Amino acid sequence: MVKNIRIAVAGLGTVGIGLLKLLQRRHAYFRTALGLSFHVVGVSARDRTKDRGIDLSDVAWFDDPVRLAQADGIDVVVELIGGEDGVAKATVEAAIGAGRSVVTANKALLARHGVALAKKAETRGVSLGFEAAVAGGIPVIKTMREALGGNDVSRVYGILNGTCNFILTKMQEEGRPFEDVLAEAQALGYAEADPTFDVGGHDTAHKLALLTSLAFGTRADFDQIELEGIQRITPADIEAADQLGYRIKLLGVAERTDHGIEQRVHPAMVAKHSAIAEVSGVTNAVALNGDAVGDLLLVGPGAGAGATASAVMGDLLDAARGHAFAPFILPAGELGLAERAAEGTHRGAFYVRMSVFDRPGVMATICGCMADEDVSLESIVQRRPASVLPGTSATPEPGSQTSLVLITHGTIESRLRRAIAAIEASGDIMAEAAQIIRIEQL
């Protein structure tokens, strides 16, 4: 007994074409092995005349994806248009309204309008799959929703943006500055002409918003996320991290604490000898902590036509098998507002790099300000300018700049920031703003 599943694909970029090719390649397998016969009956894209390297002659073409979503004889609509509003949203709404299940890779749409769309889907009794929206080919949503269904999750974090990880990996391996590697990433097509969305952490935050909702049963809320990009990371930070036994990664972290749920995106130091530290290049990783399972880490491609199509296909198989889930695990009406941890309440160890004027009393002031805020220091590394080597007769000129790296013990972030502000206010000590990077305990 073979079940037919009629699919509409809105958006024929690399992922859309990747999906069509996958459906062609695996058609016979799905049919004979699983009893599922998938048929692409309609597609929509901007330019009908473009050669996409695939035969679309017996597929209905729609210039308007909303009309495609509403057309007769369709079971599942795949939305691969992208964008948090506009035509992508209209297409998904139209599909749900017409009683079709939806599969989408659109993280921005879900992070902004996920709860409203989930409500609509639940009301209509259709499914809304978005495995491809978070960490590409890594099956993190299925894992959280089903495999870890017995767990109370306390933390989820990960490397969720391949562009940033590519840049940080290159900076680390080749000792090059941010701007330089960014330009290379742009030339390779890993970064957009306007890279802000990636390097500023916004893309990571979209994905984190969805992971937070799945982990804690709360409404995805992009605006609750503390955001810091990788633009200010320097080769000096990368090198100091290396010497201290760390790698710098842009992490998205959602964590339940005594003060509420922390959601933050920022560069973080992770122990060099951890599996996540070895996640390099454009690869993504998601780590989860559940009360029963303990720590789980999933590593894989976060983007690309094949990986994204693989994730879309997983959702299509669920839909074809009639396996339905509330999109955010809990019914949308029961998703609570995340009790947000107040800014600065994060507790952890920190790396602080300061460029200070090398004068008598400077260290005393710095240590005094830290002590006043109860920030205790695990280590202090003072680095003289390279020209002044130990054992030579030269001594640093008083008043010259010197680099100071501090590692704190576990401390409240707001206290550390007050201590730094006090140092800055103590007159002519710091030559430039301090660099503060969280050290993430894995």
Site string for a second copy, 235-254 (x = CB under 8 A): --------------------
Strand order in the sheet with 128-129: 60-62, 36-44, 3-10, 76-79, 101-104, 128-129
Question: Choosing from 89, 170, 207, 249, which is the catalytic residue?
Answer: 207
Q: How far is the CB of 242 from a second copy (least distance, A)?
A: 13
Q: How far is the CB of 236 from a second copy (least distance, A)?
A: 23
Which of 215, 218, 222 has the alpha carbon at shortest distance from 264?
222
Residues 6 or more apart in contact with residue 193 via CB below 8 angstroms? 186
Among 174, 223, 295, 428, binds a second copy (CB under 8 A): 295
Single-letter amino acid code for the residue at 142: K
Give the gyration radius of the chain's Cα atoms.
25
Tokens of 323: 């396996």
Residues 6 or more apart in contact with residue 355 via CB below 8 angstroms? 401, 402, 403, 404, 430, 431, 432
Nearer to a second copy, 251 or 285 (CB): 285
Does position 54 bind a second copy by CB under 8 A? no
Give the range of 79-87, 92-100, 178-186, 309-317 binding a second copy by CB under 8 A: 309-317
Does position 129 bind a second copy by CB under 8 A? no
Site string for a second copy, 326-345 (x = CB under 8 A): ---xxx--x-----------
Report d(CA 357, CA 294) in Å as an integer.
47
Does position 307 bind a second copy by CB under 8 A? yes
Report d(CA 310, CA 313) in Å as an integer.
5
Tokens of 306: 């094949």
Q: Are 86 and 60 in contact (CB under 8 A)?
A: no
Report d(CA 17, CA 53) in Å as an integer.
8
Q: How far is the CB of 256 from a second copy (least distance, A)?
A: 15
Report d(CA 190, CA 198) in Å as an integer.
10
Does position 281 bind a second copy by CB under 8 A? no
Applying CB under 8 A, the site for a second copy has a residue count of: 59
Q: Are 169 and 233 in contact (CB under 8 A)?
A: no
Give the range of 25-33, 201-209, 344-352, 382-390 binding a second copy by CB under 8 A: 25-33
Q: How far is the CB of 247 from a second copy (least distance, A)?
A: 11
Site string for a second copy, 209-228 (x = CB under 8 A): --------x-----------
Give the range of 42-50, 99-107, 315-323, 405-413 binding a second copy by CB under 8 A: 315-323
Q: How far is the CB of 326 from a second copy (least distance, A)?
A: 9
Give the range of 84-92, 203-211, 313-321, 359-367 binding a second copy by CB under 8 A: 313-321
Does position 294 bind a second copy by CB under 8 A? yes
Among 243, 273, 394, 432, binds a second copy (CB under 8 A): 273
Among 63, 152, 192, 428, binds a second copy (CB under 8 A): 152
Nearer to a second copy, 63 or 146 (CB): 146
Does position 14 bind a second copy by CB under 8 A? no
Phi, psi angle pair for 396, to nearest 5°: -65, 140
Residue 207 annotated in active site? yes
Among 79, 93, 131, 262, binds a second copy (CB under 8 A): 131
Q: Which residues are catalytic?
A: 207
The residues binding a second copy (CB under 8 A) are 18, 22, 25-26, 29, 33-34, 131, 137-139, 142-143, 146-152, 217, 273-280, 285, 290-301, 304, 306-307, 309-311, 313-314, 316-318, 321, 323, 329-331, 334
